[in-house]
Each structure stands twice: as structure tokens, then as C-alpha cells.
């Protein structure tokens, strides 16, 4: 079985990347910018409790606040350290963030019904709600804070609004209160929604 897992920092692991941390900090300081510099290193090591030596990937990030080093252990022999860390390990973390959003902001972990079919329907409805919230977030401008906003922020600022709805034969008008602070982004999202053809 293939694996890639985060591993706690130890003094033994830090010895492998001391030179990389110093050079990364010096490079970042030379640029004198706010951007962080990321560098990677792969080496083999094994803890005393491990049955064998494994491949360790170190991610060293140097910024104005100093250096931050993370380690992952893997049995994958091929692949560049950057690719393994960013494309495999970080995506796993992003998947965990999606599950956390689903459970925390949409209360999807509430399966308090006594019948399994009722709990299954509840989970399917929460999955539909997640898809709608994710789609709403994808409608936002690519470089805005709305594109990465948490679901509860979207719900409280864009969906949970008092409005007057007027339905006509050919269209539906939504009258927002004059105190709506986010009317511009709401208008943009409504313009980007796909049109329903009947």
C-alpha cells in the first residue's frame, strides 16, 4: 500500500535541513519582499520505532516572520519532492477541509433520526446544499475574498437576507433592502447564474 503522511518534527529530521533553512532565509531576506520562498528536500531516515528507513520530504518555507519546516514520510519512490508535497499531500489536506466545511457550516454530521433511511436522506440533502454553496462560491470573481469565503460567511451575508420577492409571468424580481452592504457582489452572482430554460 502506498502512503504519504505528515510526521512530527524531531531534532534528527531538523539536522537534515539546517543548511536548507539557512540558505532559504538568506535568499528570502535578499529579496526583501513580503512573498514567501518555498524549497524542498528529500532524504531517507527512520525513527527508532520504525521497522525500516523511509523517504522523508521536507518543505522549507522562508518568509518575513522566519522559516517554517514541515515533514512528510512516504514510500513512493518516484516523483519530485515538490510534486509529492503539493499535489498529493496538500490535496489530501484540502479534501479534509471540504469535509470539515460540510460538517461544520452545513451541519451534515447531524444524523439524529432513528431510521437509517431518514439519515441517508438528510445526508443527501446536505450534499446538495454543499454543492449549491460551492457553486455559489465558484461564481465569485477569481481574485476576490468571496472566492475563498467560508460557507457560513456566504450564508450570512448573501443568502440570509430580508427581501421582497415579486413574481411576474416572465421574471422574478427580488427587492433588497437599501441597507444591503453586499448588493454589488450579489448582483454579480445573480448575473453569472445560469439561466433556466423552460
Percentage, residues of the chain above pLDDT 70 = 98
Rounded CA-CA distance 166/173 in Å is: 5
- Over residues 9-38, mean pLDDT: 88
DSSP helix/strand/coil, 87: helix
Confidence of residue 96 (pLDDT cuts 50, 70, 90): confident
Rg (CA), the chain: 24
Closest CA to 130 of 111, 147, 163, 105: 105
Mean pLDDT of all residues belonging to the chain: 85
**pLDDT, tens only, 24-45:** 988 888 887 778 899 999 998 8
Rounded CA-CA distance 9/15 in Å is: 10
For residues 28 and 74, the answer to whether their CB atoms sit within 8 Å is: no
Domain ranges of the chain: 4-99, 105-192
Confidence of residue 196 (pLDDT cuts 50, 70, 90): low
**pLDDT, tens only, 119-172:** 889 888 888 888 888 888 888 888 888 888 888 888 888 888 888 899 999 888
The confidence score (pLDDT) of residue 38 equals: 92
How would you label 25-54 residue by residue, b for 16+ Cβ within 10 Å and e otherwise?
beebeeeeeeeebbbbbbeebeeeeeeeeb
Tell me the C-alpha to C-alpha distance, in Å, between residue 68 and each of 83, 91, 135, 167: 19, 19, 34, 56
The confidence score (pLDDT) of residue 57 equals: 93
**Residue 193 reports pLDDT greater than 60:** yes
The confidence score (pLDDT) of residue 71 equals: 94
**Residue 105 reports pLDDT greater than 60:** yes
For residues 7 and 73, the answer to whether their CB atoms sit within 8 Å is: yes
**Residue 197 reports pLDDT greater than 60:** no
The confidence score (pLDDT) of residue 95 equals: 79
The confidence score (pLDDT) of residue 149 equals: 87
Residue with the larger pLDDT of the pair 38 and 53: 38
For residues 108 and 123, the answer to whether their CB atoms sit within 8 Å is: yes
Cell numbers found for residue 129: 446544499
Closest CA to 3 of 82, 92, 67: 92
Percentage, residues of the chain above pLDDT 90 = 18
Predicted TM-score (pTM) of this structure: 0.58
Amino acid at each position: 500500500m502506498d502512503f504519504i503522511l505528515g510526521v512530527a518534527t524531531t531534532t534528527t529530521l531538523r539536522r537534515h535541513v539546517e543548511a536548507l533553512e539557512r540558505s532559504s532565509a538568506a535568499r528570502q531576506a535578499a529579496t526583501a519582499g513580503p512573498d514567501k520562498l518555498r524549497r524542498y528536500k528529500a532524504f531517507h531516515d527512520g525513527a527508532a520505532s520504525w521497522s525500516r528507513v523511509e523517504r522523508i520530504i521536507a518543505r522549507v518555507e522562508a518568509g518575513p516572520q522566519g522559516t517554517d519546516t514541515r515533514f512528510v514520510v512516504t514510500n513512493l519512490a518516484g516523483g519530485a519532492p515538490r510534486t509529492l508535497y503539493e499535489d498529493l499531500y496538500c490535496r489530501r489536506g484540502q479534501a479534509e477541509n471540504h469535509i470539515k466545511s460540510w460538517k461544520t457550516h452545513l451541519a451534515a454530521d447531524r444524523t439524529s433520526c432513528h431510521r437509517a433511511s431518514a439519515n441517508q436522506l438528510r445526508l443527501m440533502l446536505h450534499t446538495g446544499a454543499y454543492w449549491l454553496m460551492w457553486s455559489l462560491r465558484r461564481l465569485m470573481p477569481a481574485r476576490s475574498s468571496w472566492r475563498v469565503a467560508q460557507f457560513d460567511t456566504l450564508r450570512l451575508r448573501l443568502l440570509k437576507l430580508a427581501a421582497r420577492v415579486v413574481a411576474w409571468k416572465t421574471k422574478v424580481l427580488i427587492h433588497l433592502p437599501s441597507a444591503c452592504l453586499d448588493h454589488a457582489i450579489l448582483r454579480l452572482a445573480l448575473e453569472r447564474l445560469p439561466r433556466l430554460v423552460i
